[in-house]
Amino acid sequence: MGDETVHERGPAATGGARIVMLVQNGVIGDSRVQKEAESAAEAGWDVTLLGRARGKTEETWRLGRAKVRLLPVRSARAPYEVRRAWLRSPLAYGPGPRRSQREHQVRAWHAAIGERKAGQALEAAQRGVLARAAGRAALLPRRVAVRLAGSWIRMRVRRTDRFMERRKELDAPFDRLCNRFWTRTMGVRLWRRFDPGLWEFETAYGGVIDRLKPDLIHANDFQMLGVGARAAIRLRSRGRDVKLVWDAHEFLPGIKPWVERPRWHAAQMAHEREYAPYADAVVTVSDALARLLEAHHRLPETPTVVMNTPALGRFDAADAEPPNLRERCGLAPDVPLMVYSGAAAPQRGLFDLVDALPQLPKVHCALVISKPNGKLARELRRRAAELGAGDRLHTLPYVDHRQVVPFLSSADVGLIPIHHYQNHELALITKFFEYSHARLPIVVSDVETMGGMVRETGQGEVFRAEDASDLARAVKCVLADPGSYRAAYAPGLLDQWTWNSQAERLHALYRRLLADR
């Protein structure tokens, strides 16, 4: 169904019901959330999307007809991160400014001694050798005291560093004992101790949701589930029959944690288990993930599958002509160009991609990522330079989600070199659909769902995950005969891989939940 059809049936079908969508990020760069909000507003729903601001002030704008509000969220630390280690490392400095203050003090003492020595040297030049010797003798006790105090402070700093390293792992016997105790005694409430920072989303979003008085709350991903569930509980207690939709983007037990705190993953899983029963309906991104969620949380019905496919038609064109990937890389039309578009992380196989470049002479690679000058991007460029391929690696920023497909279409190959993690096996991810609509041959690692689809359709080649040589082999196969792979995109293959068809599934769910409005 086209976007015009969705819009025409919108107001009559929705009754102007109010929807509040929640996401834990800054919205920009999250194409799924943007498309959900924009298309729902186009269909006639009154949509407000709440996200996280980059700074300490609220940011607002419009996403089509949807309202976007980014709210400031404070950061919080877990209790163990701010507790002194009186028994395990009594000489370590505690959390807080004391350590840096003492280090500053040592530097100040040495600077003061240097100043005094310079003054004495100037006086000695005027008063003679005996005066210089007397000055040095007078300064000696102070220099000895500073040296001793500095040694003591440096020893305590080293103890602090060692203890903080151990605390990052939380793998000492006492830590393991504490983990088992809290896990068994708190159950699904475990997150309150292991990651109390989740409350900061509640304090930032909760009051705003209450004032908006939604008819339906759409909570994206696991961190927003609790915020949405608690808001639904409050509003229902005041007589408002609000519905809660949980949009599960991934299978939480199968992810590689993106926060380097040992208790973070357990906290998120407990948080999800506590609030999953409050959802009136669950949405997710693939059939395989829907079945996993249904079994894991014992859901009363199978989640609705809404794949994160590209928005085509009028959503394709932004106000300006879409940018051209090849032109941004400064490449002629005949230069082989492969592209990776999406999140930048080691488990996405980006280092494997760079390691394959020496085996692909004259082939350029573009990385379209959120932070093209971030730490990981710099490491990738440095690695490429070490391999003699630095001039063939290009890091570029995201473009508007409506421009992604035409932006990518000037490349020759679309890359998905992800590693074997449970979540990577489950779905046809966003970039798979974007590459497909850009008519790019796809080179994908041998993860279950995407590897199987590419083998079935013939739209690309599959290689062994984490094997740079096999990745290079697959790319060479595609570049040798790209037309045969592009021919797989015959009429009909892409019809269901559009946001129009997926959005109608979501809107049908909304209409079912709000049928009495």
How far apart CA 179 and CA 182 sit, in angstroms, is 5
| CB neighbours of residue 339 within 10 Å | 28
pLDDT given for residue 255 in this prediction: 85
Most confident of 9-13, 88-92, 342-346: 342-346
What percent of the residues of the chain are helix, what percent strand, and what percent coil, each to the nearest 5? 55, 15, 35
Average pLDDT score over the chain: 89
- Angle of the 3-14 helix axis to the 31-42 helix axis, nearest 10: 60
- Of 38-42, 144-148, 336-340, the one with minimum mean pLDDT is 144-148
Q: Tokens in use for 364? A: 């350029």
pLDDT given for residue 15 in this prediction: 62
Residue 63 scores a pLDDT above 90: yes
Calculate Rg over the CA atoms of the chain.
29
Residue 82, classified by CB atoms within 10 Å of its CB into exposed (0-12), middle (13-18) or buried (19+), is exposed
pLDDT given for residue 7 in this prediction: 40
The predicted-structure confidence for 383-442, as pLDDT tens digits, reads as follows: 999 999 999 999 999 998 888 999 999 999 999 999 998 878 888 888 999 999 999 999
Residue 318 scores a pLDDT above 50: no
pLDDT given for residue 320 in this prediction: 62
Which residues 6+ apart lie within 8 Å of 63 measured at CB?
27, 34, 37, 38, 41, 49
DSSP-assigned beta bridge partners for residue 365: 338, 393
The predicted-structure confidence for 168-178, as pLDDT tens digits, reads as follows: 777 778 788 88
- Angle of the 221-237 helix axis to the 198-212 helix axis, nearest 10: 50
| CB neighbours of residue 299 within 10 Å | 17
Tally the C-alpha atoms within 13 A of residue 337's C-alpha that lie toward its C-beta. 25
Q: Tokens in use for 434? A: 């974007």
pLDDT given for residue 192 in this prediction: 93
Over residues 472-495, the mean pLDDT reads 92
pLDDT given for residue 14 in this prediction: 56
Confidence tier at 4 by pLDDT (50, 70, 90):
very low
Better pLDDT: 40 or 311: 40
Residue 315 scores a pLDDT above 70: no
Residue 284 scores a pLDDT above 80: yes
Better pLDDT: 495 or 241: 241
pLDDT given for residue 70 in this prediction: 97
pLDDT given for residue 45 in this prediction: 95
Which residues 6+ apart lie within 8 Å of 37 measured at CB?
21, 47, 49, 63, 64, 66, 68
Look at residues 151, 165, 152 and name the one whose alpha carbon lies nearest to residue 85.
165
pLDDT given for residue 377 in this prediction: 95
Residue 73 scores a pLDDT above 90: yes
Which residues 6+ apart lie within 8 Å of 57 measured at CB?
72
Residue-wise over 289-298: b if at least 16 C-beta within 10 A, else e?
A: bbebbbebbe
pLDDT given for residue 266 in this prediction: 94
SS3 of 490-507: the string is CCCCCCCCCHHHHHHHHH
Query: What SS3 state is found at 180?
Result: helix
pLDDT given for residue 317 in this prediction: 45
pLDDT given for residue 209 in this prediction: 98
Q: Tokens in use for 370? A: 């959120």
How far apart CA 333 and CA 328 sit, in angstroms, is 12
Which residues 6+ apart lie within 8 Å of 88 measured at CB?
163, 172, 174
Residue 145 scores a pLDDT above 80: yes
pLDDT given for residue 52 in this prediction: 97
The predicted-structure confidence for 216-272, as pLDDT tens digits, reads as follows: 999 999 999 999 999 999 999 999 999 999 999 999 998 888 777 888 999 999 999
- Of 20-34, 104-118, 493-507, the one with minimum mean pLDDT is 104-118
The predicted-structure confidence for 348-360, as pLDDT tens digits, reads as follows: 999 999 999 999 9
| DSSP tag of 466 | T
